[in-house]
Chains A and B, each alone.
Chain A
Amino acid sequence: MSSLTRRSLLSKLAFAVPALAEKTENHTLIHVFLRGGADTLNLWVPYADDRYYRLRPSLAIQAPGTAANAAIRLNDRYALHPAMKPLEAAFKEGRLGAVQSVGVDNTSGSHFECQDQMEHGDSMHGTPAGGGWLGRYLRLRAGDNPSPLSAVAIGTALPESLRGAPAVSVLERIEDISIKAPAGKAEAVVSALNAMYGADVTMLGERGVETLDLFRRISTLQHGNDAPAHGAKYPESPFGKGLREIARVIQARLGLQVACIDLGGWDTHFFQGNSSGTQAEQIQLLAHGLAALETDLKDHRANYTIMITTEFGRRVYENASLGTDHGRGFTLMALGDRVKGGQVIGGWPIQADDDVNVNTPGPGGLVMETDYRHVFAEVLHGSLGLTNHEAEQLFPGMIPRKVGLM
């Protein structure tokens, strides 16, 4: 083949094969996992319930309007922790929503078991399935010609939820994705790969050229203006930096379908604090980070959905060391254009009667009302188009139920 015809073939290929990564309808699910069992009762404060104040004499967040550091009123029942201020607007715009009393049916109270069950998408009463729930989902879709960057986990270890995925990148910085050619030889390597894959007329050749294109676009990202868009300011922390990396991948339209990121530090057994203190700092990190991401992605609002979960909530009553112990249900949050926000779905979280026996071990007042899998399935449906049939394969034995979050 003469070099002229090859060149024309190459250019033909470039037009004939729209890089998958450029599909405009591409949507990303950002999965934020609050590790340690977050006390969501102090995030979404049930200020209209006297029992909340009676059982948490030191830890309760003041009712709206009663103090400088009071909770931020959302409606007649709920208020947000003051550190959630950056996300207040999203709730009012109807982009931030929550489901009350979500949980796993594992009663062990073990961080490990409950995280494990949730990340594998299992239930104590069903048939456990293999792999992580997101890994399984991506496998179901593996025939759709996935981007090499269809799944990204921020950090250094593969989260269980992504186990079994067809291709998954664990990274701390987008710079981790580059041609690892010996120093100074990247250009020569790229041009040789371009020539060899360009000359290959099979699917392998196409995907090679696409992959090179992906590298090229990432490298322009790396060398371009690196400041977040619209003056977004991320918190100075691994969490803030990780969110920024996710935003960059979304902005570059690289075919990202699922991004996983963790925020730890929620296991507040002692000195949890209230409107300030240990937990308030974590909440601030979460709210600031997500608000910055929202600003950064202002031009991409239709292209992502954020789901924030934890393995279990904490008990209503505080313990003697001014903390809270492991409970069951928690408040699951979701943020995005496709979320039916501005509401807290589900019943009143505190179901205990007035004389909660604080000496009884166990869930202590917080119930699990909604199976977490129903919410996960609905969020996947709303964000990535999970079908009913796929939902049954993804969560064996689960009968899908409408939650109303998406």
Chain B
Amino acid sequence: MKQARRDLLKSAAWGWSALALTGCDRITTAVNREWLGEGIPERLIPPQDVQIDLDFHLLSRAAFGPWPGDVMQLKKVGRDAWIEEQLHPESIADSACDLRAERFESIYFSAGDAYEFRKPVLRDELTRHSLLRAIYSRRQLFEVMVEFWTDHLNIDLEKGDCIYLKPSDDRDVIRKHALGNFHDLIRASATSPAMLVYLDGKTNMVRKGTHDQPNENYARELMELHTLGVHGGYTQEDVREAARCLSGWTFDAKRVFAFNQSESYFRPDWHDDGEKRILGQSIPKGGGASDLDRLVDIVCQHPSTAAFIALKLCRRFVSPNPPQALVKRVSETFTQTNGDIPSLLRVILKSEEFANSRGQLLKRPFKFMVSALRALAVDTQAEKGLLEPLQRMGHGLFQYPTPDGYPDEELPWMGTLMWRWNFVLALGSNKQLGTKIDIRPLNQALSETKSAPDIDRWFAHLIGRQPSEDELKSLRASAQDIPTTIGLILASPAFQRC
């Protein structure tokens, strides 16, 4: 069985290289549908409870919503086993997604080499890659965490040269450590060319014999946004001292005679090599490049960091005001495991607080869009037709201007309903540019009898619970046909939440 699958993958890979040349997306879809698990099961049993089904709930938070059949599959293996599998993404075959998402050349380029691309191409490829991974990857929790850390370590493509440097940051920082260790993630981010440019570390220099003052921009955000949090107990002096530790780390894509032109590097002549004192700990003089490692250890090990990351994760996964007891447990786990990200997720996803938080989160536009596409087993290459609505909803990936990343709060997203409605109304009727859905097999799978399924079965499939009497009445009163009904359910308040 294993052998057979590998053979199939191999032939798929062969097939893909031929497809890549002809750009035959239709064959990709066919291959994926027939052999690689992107299909729709013959029979779907939608949740029967008036409360959101717990397995559906897990897939709404630890994934970008269920693909048809995911809930039933999860019921088969059990939540704990599913979580464990998701926490080991390398164990999950993902060739169907790879076929769609690995076609973009620029995502393989190193930081210094991506300058040969035009900016719109880079923006387009990076965004499409993320969107396709979120829609099609079977490593869903991994993709959810990629989104989380992308916000946490936000980099705006529009600032300076960041657009050339973000593709490698996405690959070598965010994706490499999304389910790894928090310290490693922060350490990688600290010398990522994109971050060195975005937060000015590139020009943080204290040259010998000058009165250079260090550039504190990154040092401040490292403490305020990446680790301790704004009230995490650091002082302005700590920020300054951290900036001294970081001085000398830089990036220059135009460097000639360099062995590793496309990487960041340390310039001893720009480094302030004196003694530093940060958060009560001292770093002896003469540490050179290793000052950075000491600094990362100090800030990551600070108790405020454990609490800050725990709170932020609970806000993303549980509710806008997560129960303190849960935050405390996650924070303690952070300390005990020295920032092991999977351990934190286990505590959250298996907690009672998590189960009790059903329906309490507003979906941000990206999740809203992806969950709708997944629920309908969409066929898309994530072209302009998908990117434009995202842009209208103010969530055009990698374009958040300030270092705090796209917000988790509800209010900033409240002006987006108009575009949400129109997106799903068009999607349900198969009129959304760049997407194709096939209602027929879903309809069949949802039908108990030969006749078309009732509204409540569609509702339960999309929302994860039975509709209330009011909801059913509203939908029935204006029921026209299946496509409109699907559009309406996806446009309803219930689908805006998860």
Contact = CB atoms under 8 A, between A and B. Distances in A.
Contact of A180 (B160, B162, B425, B492): B425
A193 B483 CA distance: 15
B447 interface: no
Contacts of B470: 1, 6, 195-196, 199
Interface string A168-208: 11100000010111100100110111011101101111011
A130 interface: yes
A195 B421 CA distance: 15
Which 10 pairs, one residue from A and one from B, show the smallest C-beta to C-beta distance?
A131-B401, A130-B156, A188-B478, A130-B401, A195-B474, A164-B401, A192-B478, A142-B412, A167-B415, A130-B159
B391 interface: yes
A185 B402 CA distance: 41
Contacts of B393: 167
Interface stretch (A52-60, A144-152, A291-299): A144-152
Contact of A203 (B401, B410, B491): B410
A350 to B, nearest CB: 35
A179 B407 CA distance: 27
A136 B417 CA distance: 21
A200 B200 CA distance: 46
Contacts of B488: 189, 192-193
Interface in B454-481: 470-471, 473-475, 477-481
A6 B487 CA distance: 24
Contacts of A150: 415
A166 B418 CA distance: 13
17 contacts: A120-B158, A130-B198, A131-B401, A136-B401, A139-B402, A145-B415, A164-B399, A167-B393, A167-B416, A181-B487, A182-B484, A188-B478, A188-B479, A196-B492, A203-B410, A207-B414, A211-B418
Given A196-B474, A204-B362, A205-B493, 16 more contacts: A130-B158, A131-B158, A131-B399, A145-B415, A158-B391, A167-B415, A167-B416, A168-B394, A179-B425, A181-B484, A182-B484, A192-B474, A192-B477, A196-B492, A203-B414, A207-B417
Interface residues of B, number: 56
Given A143-B412, A192-B488, A197 B493 contact: yes
A163 B418 contact: no
A386 to B, nearest CB: 16
Interface in A112-169: 120, 127-132, 135-136, 139, 142-143, 145-148, 150, 158, 160, 163-169
A166 B394 contact: yes
Interface of B: 156, 158-160, 162, 198, 200, 217, 362, 388, 391-394, 396, 399-402, 407, 410-419, 421-422, 425-426, 429, 431, 470-471, 473-475, 477-481, 483-484, 487-488, 491-494, 496-497
Contacts of B475: 192
Contacts of B479: 188
Contact of A168 (B162, B391, B413, B481): B391
Contacts, number: 160
A180 B426 contact: yes
Contacts of B480: 182, 185, 188
A79 B412 CA distance: 46
A197 to B, nearest CB: 6
**Max count, chain A CB within 10 A of own CB: residue among B396, B400, B415:** B415
Contact of B400 (A130, A180, A185): A130
A34 B26 CA distance: 44
Nearest to B494: A196
A128 B392 contact: no
A164 B156 contact: yes
A165 B396 CA distance: 10
A214 interface: yes
A132 B158 CA distance: 8
A198 B481 CA distance: 23
Contacts of A128: 159-160
A130 B402 contact: yes
A215 interface: yes
A252 to B, nearest CB: 14
A150 B492 CA distance: 23
A270 to B, nearest CB: 28
Contacts of B401: 129-132, 135-136, 139, 163-164
Contacts of A6: 470
A208 B493 CA distance: 8
A179 B32 CA distance: 34
Given A129-B159, A167-B394, A193-B421, A204 B493 contact: yes
A167 B392 contact: yes
B400 A191 contact: no
Contact of A148 (B217, B391, B417, B487): B417
B269 to A, nearest CB: 23
A405 to B, nearest CB: 26
Contacts of A179: 421-422, 425
B118 to A, nearest CB: 11
Contacts of B416: 148, 166-167
A216 B426 CA distance: 19
B161 to A, nearest CB: 9
Given A131-B158, A192-B488, A195-B474, A182 B425 contact: yes
Contacts of B217: 127
Given A180-B425, A199-B470, A147 B487 contact: no
Given A148-B415, A185-B484, A196 B422 contact: no
Given A188-B480, A191-B477, A203 B493 contact: no
A173 B414 CA distance: 24
Nearest to A136: B401
B158 A211 contact: no
Contacts of B494: 196
A132 B421 CA distance: 27
Contacts of B162: 130
Given A120-B158, A199-B470, A204-B496, A147 B415 contact: yes
Given A130-B402, A147-B415, A192-B488, A168 B477 contact: no
Contacts of B426: 180
Contact of A145 (B414, B491, B497): B414
Nearest to B417: A211
B400 A131 contact: yes
Contacts of B417: 148, 207-208, 211
A188 B483 CA distance: 13
Nearest to A180: B422
A182 B430 CA distance: 10
Contacts of A214: 418
A143 B483 contact: no
Contacts of B198: 130
A136 B394 CA distance: 12
A20 to B, nearest CB: 9
Interface in A14-49: none
Contact of B477 (A195, A199, A202): A195
A374 to B, nearest CB: 21
A196 B200 CA distance: 48
A136 B9 CA distance: 46
Interface string A307-348: 000000000000000000000000000000000000000000
A200 B414 CA distance: 14
Contact of B484 (A167, A189, A215): A189
B471 A196 contact: yes
Contacts of B400: 130-131, 164
Nearest to B157: A130
A108 to B, nearest CB: 15
Q: Count chain B CB atoms within 10 A of each CB in A146, A158, A191, A208 and give the residue with the most.
A: A208
A136 B483 CA distance: 38
A366 to B, nearest CB: 28
Most central of B400, B402, B478 by chain A CB within 10 Å = B478
A313 B200 CA distance: 31
Of B388, B414, B416, B492, chain A has the most CB atoms within 10 Å of the CB of B414
Contacts of B483: 182
B422 A191 contact: no
